Structure 1
Amino acid sequence: MADEDERETLILFPLPFQGHMSPMIQLARILHSRGFAISIFHATLNSPRHSNYPQFTFRPLSDGLSPEESAAADPAQIIRLVNASCAEPFRRGLAAEMARKRVKCIITDANWYFTQAVAEAAEVRRVVMRTSSVCSFLAFAALSDLAAKGYLTHTNSNSNSRRMRDDPVEELPPLKVKDIPFMDQLCNNPQDAYQNIAKMMAATKKASAIIFNTSGDLEDPDLAKLRRLYFPVPTFVIGPFHKCFSAASTSFHAHDEASVPWLDGQAPESVLYVSFGSVVEMDVRELEEVARGLACSGQPFLWAIRPGLVRGCDWVEMLPEGFLEETSDRGRIIEWAPQQEVLRHPSIGGFWTHCGWNSTLESICEGVPMICSPFFGDQLVNSRYVSHVWRVGIRLETGFERGEITTEIRRLMVEEEGKEMRQRSSCLKKKIESSLSDGGSSYKGLNSLVDFISPMLDT
């Protein structure tokens, strides 16, 4: 094998959030397995553990964030700040890397919108990696058009001049107005988020290509629409990445490995796994409704309550009085689960999720139907597709209300409709596995991506 410095090198630049870091590192491992040397540029915030990946070269970049800014629970603000502060360190780092190695291609998270101008100035191609679903990216791309048509001024009032929350979005079926990826719950200043989105879209349109972590069996119709209306550039669908390489080594949280032996003692398809991801927050009232719904359902559950999930709480001290005692014989609460291992466990019968794309994709890949509680952004779109397009889950339409929660848990876990969802999930699982096999759509997509990148490196 050629010396690492003599091999064709790709620079990958992940965004410093769990849902973005994991798929980018997985992509790096996939491309490394195809013969490329990999350099990972990364911000100081949420730095990946270098020792987990001795096959890669890591180039830390100072992100200029103060301790207060780094600790802020405002992803939109952080994205805006790091795009400004990382521009010059990235430019210098890219120049230094190009002086050392044969670099002709950078692959960046779509949210690193400043990198397009840096790549153009350095005369190096930029490929965008989008970590969300195609359907949600299509909704983000359409935001300005939807705003012009009055969709973003939705209200619960009876005004005829505004769209109602349950009105259909005729341009993006099956979405409803409430499914448009509003960012108000994500940040203190929603304008930060919308400006980030506009800059991301403008930079992506100038990129050489786009990579999606998804499967054509899930999203080919939306991909065709995305190409036709917004991004007529080469697009490569090569996922799901986690079926090639696990995300466990990229987790920001320590896994509770004892959860798997606990699952071993449960009946097949009897346990509801509950996890709302690494970023979202809920209030104490919502936590209580979740707990009461779980208690009233009578179903076994494994509930991952991440420290910081509930605003103002360290961990589980705000659970309703008596909840732990009432459910001790059928429930287990942990801080963080080895999710892929949990979802493939035979005792898991359903997944109550926020519908972030990584979680959604992992659940589909294991044939596990979902209960969806989206909070913001792409989760809103993903959940509607889970319930109305792929039909492998239920969306909680009223937020967190114990009566609906109880009803829908039982609907998913013990009623006939839940069994039908499980059957559809199993069929999707088999299709996705086939797409990754020799001759499948994702297999061919990866070969096409490698062929697309290689000429760049030969020029």
Structure 2
Amino acid sequence: METAKQTEIPKPRRIVLVPCPYQGHITPMLQLASFLHSVAGFSITIAHTRFNSPNPSNFPHFQFVYLDDGIPEKEAIPTDLIAVLLELNVNCRDSFKAEMRKLMAVEPEDSSEVIAGVIHDEIMFFCEEIASDLKLRSFILRTTAAVTSLARMALVSLNDEGMDPIPKLHPLRFKDLPISLTTDFTGYSKLMKKTYNMETPTTAKAIIWNTMEWLEDSIMAKIENKSTVPIFPIGPLHRIVSAQTSVLKEDFDCLSWLDEQADNVVIYVAIGSIASYNEKAFGEMAWGLANSQQPFLWVVQPGAIHGSEWIEALPKDFLEAIGGRGYIVKWAPQKQVLAHRAVGGFWSHCGWNSSMESLSEGVPMLCSPCFGDQKVNARYLSYVWRVGIQLENGLEREEIEKGIRRLMVGEESKEMRERTKDFKEKIEAYVLKVKDQCYSHTYLAELVSLLKSS
């Protein structure tokens, strides 16, 4: 008599995630990892450079392995970001392959765990080839708005032509395209062609996007029509799952200062983790804030001001002029700050994480983009979604003062605040719907299903 075959129990699965080692890229990757572990039950390995690495103690359930990046610590605020990113894709290859072979060597066929795939940042494109060589599935995480991808590909194809506005990319102007004027275009073109598989077809199984389909519906439709692999817009990740992602020490004392302020009067100023300024621009920012007469919380990262350790370059008499109306920190817990009742505006570089965090809390923005996708985001925030005001003429105290007043007081401010409130409510409704359905019938559920499939 034959015995019935026992039902085969699926083996637990491990995902290897490879962030690009800058804060705007690290944050969504670690948020995705936290979701995949806490909600979907995957084991997690983070393959990270030693350069700009997050604190593993914040993620006790994750395994961390380190890649040989060859980047000196002084490059934390690089003079040529494109060159650093291209260098990372060369330097990290061998150590990533070696670490993957170690993981695979301890997981034979009879092991209780299998590697379900590699999720890598779009910038860390070397991972796709290595995963393919090792017969592993790879998945791409894009950490920008969808429109940025179209703009980047258009910029590469434009070559040396400077047209304004850009054909088929309305409302973007030439100056809104995602490149720094100080960057060598040859290097930029090389990075983008690799990032967007413009020379060879992708072997990735899917593209994961930290955006919302309804926010960029027409753009997503264009991309999906041309894509050869499934696309999963699963944002906003910071609202789906909570995770401690900052690689810098956050100053929580600023929240106590905010507690002492009236509602919606403080402008929060944070121009990103890798932006840098000369002393003149720093002075213009300072006097623009002082002359606006608005209370402010200002993040100034050490080393961001050329020739200064921190805030030594502040203009003479500035601190006396503002009295107790301002508070300066080296780094802030941004999500808590934006959610605080006292914060009524956000002067930002318009990185994609910051933009979504601000929209999620109903906080209008003063847009001061530095480079890359920040310029695309600023144009959409100010011109399309109309929840921000862009500083079009650089950092000049008169324009800064005027911009802050427009953002914080008056009829224009009121109308902008109402539009931003609508975005907040729409995001909250979307996130609640996702969570109420236990992530079923969503892009997240479809992604998890794909990751768990053979």
TM-score of the superposition, structure 1-length normalised? 0.90
Cα distance, 1:250 vs structure 2: 2.3
The answer as to whether partners of 1:110 and 1:204 remain within 8 angstroms in 2 is no
* Worse-matched range after superposition: 348-357 or 314-323: 314-323
Any stretches of 5+ residues in structure 2 without a counterpart?
1-9, 108-112
Please give the per-residue CA displacement for 1:386-432, whole angstroms capped at 9, x wherever unaligned: 01111100011101111111111111100111111111111111111
Distance 2:76 2:294 in 1: 39
Q: CA RMSD in A?
A: 2.0
Matched, 1:81 2:87: yes
Deviation, structure 1 residue 259:
0.6
Unaligned residue ranges in structure 1 (runs of 5+): 152-162
Amino acid at match of 1:97: L
The residue number in structure 1 matching 2:33 is 28
1:8-407 alignment runs, 5 A limit = 8-33=13-38, 34-66=40-72, 72-99=78-105, 100=107, 101-147=113-159, 150-151=161-162, 163=163, 167-185=164-182, 187=183, 189-202=184-197, 205-229=202-226, 231-247=227-243, 249-407=244-402
- Deviation string, structure 1 residues 31-77 (Cα, Å, up to 9, x no partner): 11211111111112122211111111111122233566677443222
2: CA distance, partners of 1:72 / 1:427: 37
Distance 1:92 1:184, change over 3 A: same
Structure 1 residues 54 and 282: alpha-carbon distance in aligned structure 2, compared to 1, 3 A threshold: same
Q: Please identify, of 60-69 and 22-31, the stretch whose mean Cα deviation from structure 2 is larger.
A: 60-69
1:300-322 CA distances to partner (integer Å, 9 max, x unpaired)? 11111111221111111111111
Q: Is the 8 A contact 2:51 2:72 kept in 1?
A: no
Whether 1:432 and 2:427 are equivalent positions in the alignment is: yes
Contact 2:15 2:118 in 1 (8 A): yes
Q: Could you tell me whether the CA contact under 8 Å between 2:55 and 2:247 is conserved in 1?
A: no
Of the structure 1 ranges 57-66 and 303-312, higher mean CA displacement relative to structure 2 is found in 57-66
Deviation at 1:142, TM superposition (A): 2.0
* Contact map agreement 1:217 1:432 (CA 8 A) in 2: no
Select between 381-390 and 212-221 the one with higher mean Cα deviation.
212-221
Distance 2:43 2:338 in 1: 32
SS of residue in 1 equivalent to 2:159: helix
Query: Could you report, residue by residue, the CA deviation over 1:75-123 in whole angstroms, capped at 9, with x for unpaired residues?
Result: 2222111211111111122122123241131100001111121122112
Cα distance between partner residues in 2 of 1:25 and 1:283: 32
C-alpha distance in 2 between matches for 1:454 and 1:6: 10
Distance in 2 between residues matched to 1:38 and 1:259, nearest whole Å: 33
Matches within 5 A, 1:401-416: 401-416=396-411
Quote how far apart the aligned CAs of 1:252 are: 2.0
TM-score normalized by the length of structure 2 = 0.91
| More divergent stretch after superposition (441-450 vs 416-425) | 441-450
CA distance in 2, matches of 1:97, 1:88: 14
Q: Is the 8 A contact 1:295 1:327 kept in 2?
A: yes
CA contact (8 A) 1:183 1:190 kept: no
Q: Residues 11 and 105 of structure 1 are in contact (CA less than 8 Å); yes or no, is this contact kept in structure 2?
A: yes
Aligned residues with identical type, % of pairs: 42
- Return closer, same or farther for 1:439/1:336 CA change in 2, 3 Å cut-off: closer
Distance 1:137 1:348, change over 3 A: same
**Residue 407 to residue 192, structure 1, CA distance change in 2 (3 Å):** same
Q: Distance in 1 between matches of 2:77 and 2:339?
A: 33
Structure 2 Cα separation of the partners of residues 170 and 207 of structure 1:
30
Deviation readout 1:345-370 (Å, 9 max, x if unpaired): 00100000000111111101100000
Q: Which amino acid aligns with 1:36?
A: F
Give the paired residue count.
Answer: 433
The 1:396–1:266 alpha-carbon spacing in structure 2 relative to 1, beyond 3 Å, is same
